Chain A
Amino acid sequence: MVRNPLDRRSFLRIAGSSLSIGALYSAFAPLAHGASGAILTRTLAELNGEAPGAFSFIQLSDTHVGFNGPPDPLGTSAFENAVATINRLKRRPELVIVTGDLTHDADSPDEHAKRYRLFKEIAARIGGAQVKVVPGENDAALDGGVMFREFMGPTYYSFDHRGVHFVALDNVSSGKPAVGAAQLAWMKADLARFPTSAPIIVYTHRPLFDLKPEWEWFTSDGDQVLTALAPYENVTILYGHIHRQNFHQRGTTKMYAARSLIFAFPDPETASAKRPAQFDKDHPFQNLGLRRVTGGAGGGELRIEDVELSMNQYSGTVGMDQILKHGKGDSVDE
């Protein structure tokens, strides 16, 4: 691990600018100013060939292609609607990250393969953005990830984008909610070349902390992953699986779950059982990762309808924060 004495706050600020589809993030780097920022910029450029730069990306999750209610009889409608909404964004995201359960599990491999093909067909409609995925248990837990690798590529990997290091983790394909020793060792080796202040975004399917173990909302060796990430000061973890928003922080590591694009699960703090939310034909996308955004066409303030403000109101802009109440700079032309 490369040690770097620089103040982490000077390295990268990543702020959510709106939540219109899943979660839209803007990453930008005010670190170009000042001597310390210049050192970091140069360090990261040397490490991964690219200095930090501004960009935005979107997280989608749990599209469950092939699922067709109840509780959601609309199948891929929310996913297709999300894709159309992405394509209408004035400021286009450079990445779309899908955090697992791309497909809904099927009894026959042939049917499951059809669902993968349909996922790829819909995802291919996203214009101008790289689509990055990790598997969910519906995709990869029964066959050890064989079909996922055939259609989508490796189940875990890393890459750099504009000075941010992205790490995709697979915590499903062993069948159990686990990352496993081999992948953990790979991750440690992958991160070793970076200074502790490098901006790192990890994305995976299940939560890496014990959110609700009796609902299988955990990763058995998630503690080891978080311990390995702990020395790094600018780590954001994105995940899905729980079909609802959630925020959790351990040390400086921030963890966010995105809504699904099929149906919502209840609040684990108050619900006695994990039952999907009822489908409301008058509000078919309620609780899903799709939100209508109006206004802001001239770059002004956005109005976001049907946002569950009570769940996520964060302050601060260091690290990655989803700011749901109001965002600036992105709009949807409708």
Chain B
Amino acid sequence: MNSEHKCTRIALALALVGAAMTTGSGSGWSPRRVAAAEPPQVIEIKAKKYEFSPSQITLKKGAPVVLRLSSEDRSHGFFVKPLGVDADIKPGQVTDVPITPDATGEYVVICDHYCGLGHGNMKMTLTVVQ
């Protein structure tokens, strides 16, 4: 699943929450409870030849987050196959990747947009805990 699909999934979830808010009386949901939901945590990740900063992040299983990606020099990639993330990071732009990890584990994130001689070593670790 790519990031667009993730976005779609989250948008669908928000739509369902909206539906619950409008029809929720008597169903156990209340507008007050929904409004109290925490906005997703935003984690900023900067890319430059040939590293990500930070080089390690830890997420909680089931907790939605937004990875806010930016580049300090040239185009890079942000690819982690098991989580269905394949994003481009372009200089001068911010790329938001919303994800809700559904399995614990340690995942290797690689730059999959060739960026020069050290490209093969450009990676970071994304850990998902319970």
Residues of A within 8 A of B (CB): 105, 107, 137, 141-142, 172, 175-177, 210, 213-216, 218, 220, 274
Contacts and interface: CB of A to CB of B under 8 A. Distances in A.
A142 B116 contact: yes
A137 B123 CA distance: 17
B29 interface: no
B64 to A, nearest CB: 24
A175 B110 contact: no
B117 A107 contact: yes
Those 7 A-B pairs whose CB atoms lie nearest each other, nearest first: A141-B114, A213-B81, A214-B108, A137-B114, A175-B113, A175-B114, A105-B117
By secondary structure, the B interface counts as mixed
B120 A274 contact: yes
Given A210-B81, A214-B81, A220 B114 contact: no
B98 to A, nearest CB: 20
Interface in B64-123: 75, 77, 79-81, 86, 88, 108, 110, 112-117, 119-120, 123
Interface of B: 75, 77, 79-81, 86, 88, 108, 110, 112-117, 119-120, 123
Nearest to B109: A214
Given A175-B75, A216-B110, A216-B112, 12 more contacts: A105-B117, A137-B114, A142-B116, A172-B114, A176-B77, A176-B112, A176-B113, A176-B114, A213-B79, A216-B120, A218-B81, A220-B112
Contacts of B123: 214
Contacts, number: 36
Contacts of B79: 213
B81 A105 contact: no
Given A210-B81, A220-B86, A177 B112 contact: yes
29 contacts: A105-B116, A105-B117, A107-B117, A137-B114, A137-B119, A141-B114, A142-B114, A142-B116, A172-B114, A175-B75, A175-B113, A175-B114, A176-B88, A176-B113, A176-B114, A177-B112, A213-B79, A213-B81, A214-B80, A214-B81, A214-B108, A214-B110, A214-B123, A215-B110, A216-B110, A216-B112, A216-B120, A220-B112, A274-B120
A266 to B, nearest CB: 13
Contacts of B110: 214-216
B9 to A, nearest CB: 20
